[in-house]
Structure 1
Amino acid sequence: MEALSIIADDLKLLGDKTRLAMLALLKEREWCVCEFVAIFDISQPAISQHLRKLKSQGIVKESKRGQWVHYSLNVEDKPYIRAVLDQLPDSTTILSLLNKETVVASCE
């Protein structure tokens, strides 16, 4: 039952459309917190909270560069997450749905 609980908890995180969109974007490259703030038009603490939840389940990993934290996918051991991500639109489509044709962020 433990494995089922882990999978259920992981999949619950995908029930949030912001987190699902973040993961769809992360399929193609790593992203900085500041870029997600620009894309989703929500506060940096709210973005960090979403990413913290994904990181706590091991779905994303982080790397610090100066004051900024960059996130990337970490789903090699989670084929059920990969299966969901394979069904999601690409980053161009996601950005278009969010009315963000280009991402201008001040990470540097």
Structure 2
Amino acid sequence: MIKHSIEMDQAAAILKLLGDKTRLTMMRILADHDCCVCEFVAMFDASQPAISQHIRKLKDAGLVKESRRGQWVFYSLNRQYEHFEFVQLLMDALPNQEEKLTELEKQGKRISCD
């Protein structure tokens, strides 16, 4: 149950942003694991600029935050986001994406930011 209500326009903006399957999947993965762009590039078989654009949209909206670890930048859900409870409800309703990370590990591409 959401403790704080969310306005319709705010909910619509979040749902519009997450209406893209790639961004929605990225968010679901980030609900369980921090990831870097290179991991998403390998998972989605997409270009680095395309993945970076998705991340930028999520970050600009405040849904995702970044942290530097050495030369790498990792992304995670922003749990301080004003409407995080709403986002968490959505993520909880979706299937986890562990198989994507498992497949990445099998390919030896988990955290391979060279």
Q: Which structure 2 residues correspond to residues 1-108 of structure 1 after superposition, within 5 A?
A: 3-76=7-80, 77-78=82-83, 79-93=85-99, 95=100, 101-103=103-105, 104-105=109-110, 106-107=112-113
- Whether the aligned pair in 1 keeps the contact of 2:42 and 2:104 (CA below 8 Å) is no
Unpaired runs of 5+ in structure 2?
Answer: 1-6
**Any idea what the Cα deviations from partners look like across 1:59-95, whole Å, max 9, x if unmatched?**
00011234422100014532221111001111224x2
Over the aligned positions, Cα root-mean-square deviation in angstroms equals 2.2
Aligned length: 103
Unpaired runs of 5+ in structure 1?
Answer: none
Q: Percent identity?
A: 53
Structure 1 moving runs of 4+ over 4 Å: none
TM-score (norm 2): 0.78
Partner Cα separation in structure 1 for residue 97 and residue 88 of structure 2: 16
TM-score (norm 1): 0.82
